[in-house]
Amino acid sequence: MRANKAGTNWFDAITNPAPLNRHMLSFSGGNDRSTYYLSLGMQDQNGIILNQNFTRYSLRLNSEHDVTKKFRIGENIQATYLSVTGLIGGAGGRGAAAEENDFLSAFRMPAIIPVYNEFGGYAGTQAKGFNNPRNPVAARERSKDNYGFGFGIFGNVYAELDLLENLKVRSSFGGSLGLNYSNYYNRTSYENSENNSTFSYGENSGYNRNWIFTNTAEYKKQFGVHDITLLGGIESLNVGYFRQMSGNGQEPFSRDIDYITLTNTTNRVVNSDFRRGVNFFSVFGQARYTYNDKYMLNALVRRDGSSRFGANNRYGIFPAVSAAWRISDEGFMSGVSFVSDLKIRGGWGQMGNSNNVDPYNQYSLFASNLSQSYYDIAGANGTPAEGFYRSRIGNPNAKWETAETSNIGFDGSFFDGKLDLIFDLWRKDTKDLLYELETPAVVGAQAADPALNIASIRNQGIDLEIVTRGNASPTLRYEVKVTGSFLQNEITSIAPDVPYFDSPITFRGINPIRNQVGYAISSFYGYQVAGLFQNQADIDNAATQDGVTKTEAATADSPAGGIGRFKYADINGDGAITPDDRTYLGDPVPDFNGGINIKLNYKNFELETFFQTFLGVDIFNQSRWFTDFYPSFTGAAYGRRVQESFTFENGGNTTPIFENVSNFSTNTQSNSYYVESGNYGRLANLQLAYNLPEGILSRYGMDKVRVYLQATNLFTITSYEGLDPGVAGDADTRLGIDVGNPPVTRGYNIGLNIGF
Amino acid sequence: MKNLTNILKKAVPLTLVVSITVGVIACKDEFLDVPATGQLTESQIITLPGVEGQLIGTYAVLDGISEDWHGGAVNWLWGSMRGGDANKGTNAGDFSTMNPIERFEVDPTNGEVNQKWSDTYEGVARANQVLFTLSQLEDIPDETKNRIAAEARFLRGHFYFELRKNFKMVPWVDETSNLPATEVDKETTAKGDIKNDTDVWPKIEEDFKYAFDNLPETQSAAGRANKWAAGAYLGKAYLYQGKFVEAKTMFDDVIANGVTANGQKYGLFPDFGALFMVANDNSMESVFAFQATGGAQNVSNSLHELAMAMPYNTAAGQAAPSDCCGFFQPSFDMAASYRTTAQGLPLLDGSYRTGANELKTDQGVLSNAAFQPDQGPLDPRLDRTIGRRGLPFLDWDVHPGYSWVRDQNYAGPYTPMKFSIRKSEYGTRDASGWTPGYAANNYMIIRFADVLLMAAETEVEIGSLEKAREYVNLVRARAAAPETFVIARDPADQSKDFKDADGNFVPAANYVIGTYTMPWTDQATARDAVRFERKLELALEGHRFFDLVRWGIDKDVIPSYLAYETSKISSHFSGASYDASKDQYLPIPQRQIDLQGSDVLVQNP
């Protein structure tokens, strides 16, 4: 393999500009008894990374027909074909940030390695001292034949009858059916330091369905200034039914994809699974009373039942009330002319949640599983014997988790609608939070832990929206909308005697997440770096710390040293760095997010921009482990920060010394070196549109023709050093961890809307 | 149209009736009873086949949970690496949570420590579940019931033995104490009173005794524990406590009468070099083993704990078993220990580390530079245990040194060999994993040579030194058999064994090994000889650290080991030190203390 002296830009090598193609055609029409709406859509979008594609075709049909003046029937149906290939990240891509993926490989790959060797094959890290990322171009290209699609149809049919003058009953039945299929080729590699030596092929397919049946009756009546609405209903539904099968096998005789089927592979493994889903049954009622459009009262109560809970706690009753007062209609406000409309409102309510409970939470179960419980008891090196293990500890006493919300706020409109203000102060206390507290290992760690109603979380915040609009000149209209939300998240209790729990998730041995009462969920936890050891005296004077050696502790075989490594803060001041010195390093929940949306209309032109910002948020930039520390895998560390490493000549107090040592004082601990501010602002949208004048349109029998140019994610302002500060996560328990967060992409769109 | 309207008018009440009916059905509680699918309920499992299956599930944890690297019985990390047989291998950053373990800097938050604890207690929990289920069963023959109970208690004894030797003070949980039955109430049970304030040795003895008294001599399957496996393990438990009298009685019985579960009289398998081959699983030497298989298409049934302990950077399947990942590299000290005197005896005084005695290594020599391997007298077990430059690596290529080692500067020149996959057995491995190293050979938790050497220990302490010598000589005589000698490759054709002009095979090194021919008269010397034999014979098999601790010589041997290795690979061990008062046992995982309470689980010093 010849070195690429010009340097390989691996990020360029795995990415390319990605065209997006989106078309939609819709029709609507009808007569005085019937209406319909039909639309057809297609979207074909490549990802910026090689061999990633998103294709969707959809059909939507809605219609309603008045059978009589008092009886209507209708339906909504949507059918979709969706194919997503080459997706990065689990959970539909949301898990990408916390995974070691091809983006991470791209910036771990040494630039001196070319993409291809001189014989046309792939080049990679097989030569020693080049770390162990896999050639990401090869990885992408080897997966180019992987394919998958889902076909789904969902919709509902309904009938509505005006039973009495003020009483309307409605019955609706809805459901969905989804089919899916996918296959993959896991090809062998040769160019990497750690290779895949077995060719394997797999296929998956299955279907899922759900249904919902809702019946409601609504009574509406006005007596003079009194306005009353009463609503009652019952609803039953099933969600989450599926059947799924998958198979894989190895080493087909030929690797030609025209030849490969599961039948033609060896060592085949077949798996299948099914679930009956979860059933819900709810009864609900609502009453609304309005006096003269000035005083408004609303009360709601519902009783929800879920099969996720055992027979004793199946049902929960959840009331809610709210009230509003249009103060601007009061006589004493009549003199205040700049107030066009002002409404003060407040509310309190409870909502049940059962979504974070496994459907089998109530059952104690056993399972057989090749990986968990099979054993070759015969000692014949053949297929192992089937065994069983406890797969779930049941909790039949779990009950609904309750979110209690209270809010107070106002909606105001001033100066004849030139200025709107919306303000909300809110709090949401989640009680009896269903949490799967880890069972102590002495009881057996493998059985799934049941959700228990033990924790509680408080979210509270302020939401603010300011809109100002008007005409700067007769032909120039403007609207500026500023939104801002302050959010505070805090764990208020976990379980009796359990002050905190560490996330079981580790990243290359680093465990950065702790959940503790009094802190935000998924907070970052570890050692606080107080700088780098500048010299031996610095080490000798500091607290005792593993990974560096004081002069007084030095022996012939282990000399004093450790200059240039992390110096951790001795939080408890006991003169030694121990796990007790770990502390909170930041949290991934933004304190503030806001946006500015500006719309300008000049004659037939429209200009619209949207700028958004997230502040008070931290990111645990785990990718630094790969890019900043030479021994992470010998030859790792190709980041820019490495150039600022401590050296004996130049000193340095941020990036540790570049050396082949991996210990407590270098790269093995969660510490504040990895934590960065995730604050950013981004111009998310900039769009210029032109509407053809009506005069021209009418000549061609058209209602509307709109042409637009759009740019998305034009720029981002941030100090974050990773690829992109928009680091999400696929679960509340691992937010803001950046291992290989795919960047948002800048997009340019041209669009045309035509209406007849 | 009018007709249609009329029909619909009539149909409307019907629609309402239908919806109300469904509503009523939905009100019934059955609608909200959705049974579990794809798993078994307790009523299905409380049957004879159900409890037999749970027993299989208990055996399945012998190698830890699923694919965990360090939760099982192999103990390469906990026994061999900490004991100085080998270092972590590979490079400094790879799997860096192991680094503090070999440097004795481990803290209670280390994830590997929690894995060992959790995986082992999973074994305890499954054994307890077998016993609990058995107690719910009626109408099964006593013989069956006793056999199942005895196997479960044997396994529980094994898991507690693992816990005792790694963690010392551990909570005793059994089938009566804290099993979550049909309901769980964590606040009162799981966090309950399972303290680690009592030594569990007596309980371990009870389990093995019960197993010894109730297990049959032979079993329906080779992988099951039998009476003699229980006897050997009971003897080992006595030995660990210094109960030499009881241990000797037990070992004498096992040596005289023991048979394997498949009915072979215990003995030393004649070919040390082939002892660890897949084909020789469950030989006469196998007292109790984790049964690995490559036939599951699921790597957790293979010898997965050692799957990454293979040469690095090779043509996998052609030159060597795997090209990944270079863990578990034998230490300089371990390799050098195989130096023998002209009489073929080991250098018990430690002089194997000095001067001309020291084994010649290719440390710092690139693969394309010339290197001649050591020409001095060596115990042939060296080249059946450790891969080194210039010698055939099993039936693969000749070991090229540097290029098969991931970071020689960090971890030294050696490659682990004992459990490596052979070329002739390449097809037996489990090929479904990401790396080719998932081998099908068993790991023997106790083998007969181990029993003989433990018996020799008891003889040294309370019996006859001559009997001890006899046992040690049995082990050495087997090692001295010509089968142990690695044959050099033909210089003209590296794929063939080398024969001299007379047609005799040419050994790959100067193998000189003999038995102790002079009577043993000094107890201390005999003790040294037995202990050193144990080191040589059982190298890389996960025993060494625990042996050092129970002998009480860890406080001298380990610092000396660290100093010697630091002189060879300074970046690896520089600054590491061993403090017997805190490093003899692993810290109890902080995570478990957090979950159970520091008043229940008390940390080791």
pLDDT digits (tens, 9 = 90+) for A14-32: 998 888 899 999 999 989 8
Cross-chain CB nearest to B99 (options A193, A636, A663): A663
Q: Do A633 and B93 touch (CB under 8 A)?
A: yes
B54–A502 C-beta distance less than 8 A? no
Nearest to B93 among A382, A555, A629 (CB): A629
Query: Tokens standing for A218?
Result: 């609504």
Rounded CA separation B490/B498 (Å): 4
- Nearest Cα of chain B lies from the Cα of A1 at a distance, in angstroms, of 15
Least CB–CB distance from B428: residue in A378, A381, A392: A381
Q: How confident is the model at residue B193 (pLDDT cuts 50, 70, 90)?
A: low
- Which of A381, A395, A555 comes nearest B294 by C-beta? A381
Contact B222 A371 (CB under 8 A): no
- Bridge partners (DSSP) listed for residue A122: A116
Tens of pLDDT along B510-520? 999 999 999 99
Of B8, B66, B97, Cβ closest to residue A372: B66
Predicted local confidence at residue A192, as pLDDT? 86
CA distance A204 to A247: 7
Residue A213's SS3 state is strand
Q: What is the mean pLDDT of residues B103-126?
A: 93
- For residues A579-600, average pLDDT: 93
Distance between CA atoms of A523 and A734, rounded to whole angstroms? Answer: 9
- CB distance B252 to B236 below 8 Å: no
Q: How many CA atoms lie within 13 A of B36 on its CB side?
A: 23
**Whole-angstrom Cα distance, residue B43 to residue B533?**
52
Q: Quote the DSSP letter at residue B312.
A: S
- Asked whether the beta carbons of residue B36 and residue A363 sit closer than 8 angstroms, the reply is yes
Cβ proximity of B123 and B355 under 8 Å: no
Answer positive or negative: Cα dihedral of B441, B443, B448, B452. positive
Task: Provide the percentage of residues in chain A whose pLDDT is more than 90.
Answer: 61
Count contacts between A and B (CB, < 8 Å): 393
Among A161, A387, A636, beta carbon nearest to B53: A387
Q: Token pair of B60, please?
A: 């399945």
Using CA coordinates, name the residue in chain A closest to B441. Answer: A381
Mean predicted confidence (pLDDT) in B257-286: 97
Lowest-confidence segment of A301-305, A661-665, B65-69 by average pLDDT:
A661-665
Q: Which residues pair with B277 in a beta bridge?
A: none
Q: What is the DSSP letter of B79?
A: I
pLDDT tens, A240-260? 999 999 999 999 999 999 999
Q: Per the CB < 8 Å rule, is B184 touching A393?
A: yes
Mean pLDDT calculated for residue range B48-52: 96
CA–CA separation, B329 and B413 (whole Å): 8
How close A88 comes to chain B (CA, Å)?
A: 19
Q: Which residues of A touch B4 (CB under 8 A)?
A: 67
3-state SS, residue A557 = coil
Say which of A67, A382, A501 has its CB closest to residue B293. A382
pLDDT the model gives residue B92 = 86
Shortest alpha-carbon distance between residue A251 and chain B (Å): 10
Least confident of A59-73, A269-283, A501-515, B240-254: A501-515
Q: How many helices (H) and strands (E) does chain B have?
A: 21, 9
Which stretch, A573-587, B307-321, B535-549, has highest mean pLDDT?
A: B535-549
Distance CA B376, CA A451 (A): 65
Residue B126: list chain A partners with CB under 8 A.
389-390, 444
Contact B432 A559 (CB under 8 A): no
Which is more confidently placed, A728 or B478? B478
- Cross-chain Cβ contact A390/B125 below 8 Å: yes
The confidence band for A508, taking pLDDT boundaries of 50, 70 and 90, is confident
Q: Comparing C-alpha atoms, which of B62, B204, B216, B205 is closest to residue B146? A: B216
The interface residues of chain B toward chain A in range 327-386, judged by CB-CB distance below 8 A, are: none
> Per the CB < 8 Å rule, is A198 touching B56?
no
Chain A residues with CB under 8 Å of B66 CB are 371-372
- Taking CB atoms and an 8 Å limit, are B34 and A193 in contact across chains? no
A-chain CB neighbours of B300 within 8 Å are 370-372
pLDDT of residue A557: 64
Taking the CA of residue B591 and the nearest CA in chain A, the distance in Å comes to 8
The pair of structure tokens assigned to A263 is: 């039948």
Across the interface, do B8 and A363 touch by the CB < 8 Å criterion? no
Query: CB of B535 within 8 A of CB of B544?
Result: yes
The confidence score (pLDDT) of residue A180 equals 96
Q: Which of A376, A390, A441 sits opposite B223 (nearest CB)?
A: A376
**Could you tell me which of B445, B350, B572, B504 has the C-alpha nearest to residue B154?**
B445
Looking at the predicted structure, is the pLDDT value of residue A600 above 50?
yes
DSSP code for A97: G
B571 compared with A236, residue with greater pLDDT: A236
Query: Which helix H or strand E contains A394, and what residues bound it?
Result: none
CA A319 to chain centre: 30
pLDDT greater than 60 at residue A602: yes
Which residues on A lie below 8 Å from B403 (Cβ)? 128
Percent residues over pLDDT 90 in chain B:
81
Residue B499 and residue B480: Cα distance in Å, rounded? 20
CB B131 within 8 A of CB B179: no
- A-chain CB neighbours of B281 within 8 Å are 379, 381
- String of b and e for B28-38 (b: at least 16 CB within 10 Å)? eeebbebebee
Whole-number CA gyration radius for chain B = 28
A362 contact residues in B (CB cutoff 8 A): none
Pairing of strands A419-435, A529-532: unpaired
User: What φ, ψ does residue B143 adopt, rounded to 5°?
Assistant: -60, -45
Say if the Cβ atoms of A389 and B60 lie within 8 Å: yes
Top pLDDT among A636 and A463 is at A463
A29 Cα to chain B: minimum distance (Å): 21
Q: Has residue A221 got a pLDDT over 60?
A: yes
User: Chain B partners of A441 at a C-beta cutoff of 8 Å?
Assistant: 114, 117-118, 121-122, 589, 592
Q: Which of residues 20-79 of B touch A (CB under 8 A)?
A: 20, 22-23, 26-27, 29, 31-42, 44-45, 50, 53-60, 62, 65-67
Q: Would you call A279 and B32 a contact, using CB atoms and an 8 Å cutoff?
A: yes
For the purposes of burial, counting CB atoms within 10 Å of the CB of A220, is it exposed (0-12), middle (13-18) or buried (19 or more)?
Answer: middle
Burial pattern A67-103, b for ≥16 Cβ within 10 A else e, equals beeebbbbbbebebebbbbbbbbeeebebbbbbbbbb
Q: Cα dist. A573→A528, A576, A666, A752, B342 in Å?
A: 13, 8, 21, 67, 59
What is the value of ipTM here, to two decimals? 0.93
Spatial distance between the Cα atoms of B67 and B504, rounded to a whole number of angstroms: 45
pLDDT of res. B29: 67
Query: Chain B: nearest CA to A461, how far in angstroms?
Result: 32
Using a CB-CB distance cutoff of 8 angstroms, which residues of chain B are in contact with residue A364?
Answer: 41-42, 180-182
B35 by DSSP, 3-state: which? coil
- Min Cα distance A264 → chain B (Å) is 16
Nearest-neighbour CA in chain A from B556: distance (Å): 15
Q: Using CB atoms, pick whichever of B180, B291, B312 lies closest to residue A443.
A: B180
How much is the mean pLDDT over chain A? 91
pLDDT at A287: 97
Residue A464 has pLDDT above 70, yes or no: yes
Work out whether the CA dihedral A466, A470, A473, A475 comes out positive or negative. positive
How many whole angstroms separate alpha carbon B88 and alpha carbon B100?
10
Whether the bond into B27 is cis, omega within 30 of 0: no
Smallest CA–CA separation between B547 and chain A, in Å? 25
**Nearest Cα residue to B428 out of B582, B301, B593, B334:** B301
- Predicted local distance difference test score (pLDDT) of residue A105: 87
Burial tier of A219 (Cβ tally within 10 Å: 0-12, 13-18, 19+): middle
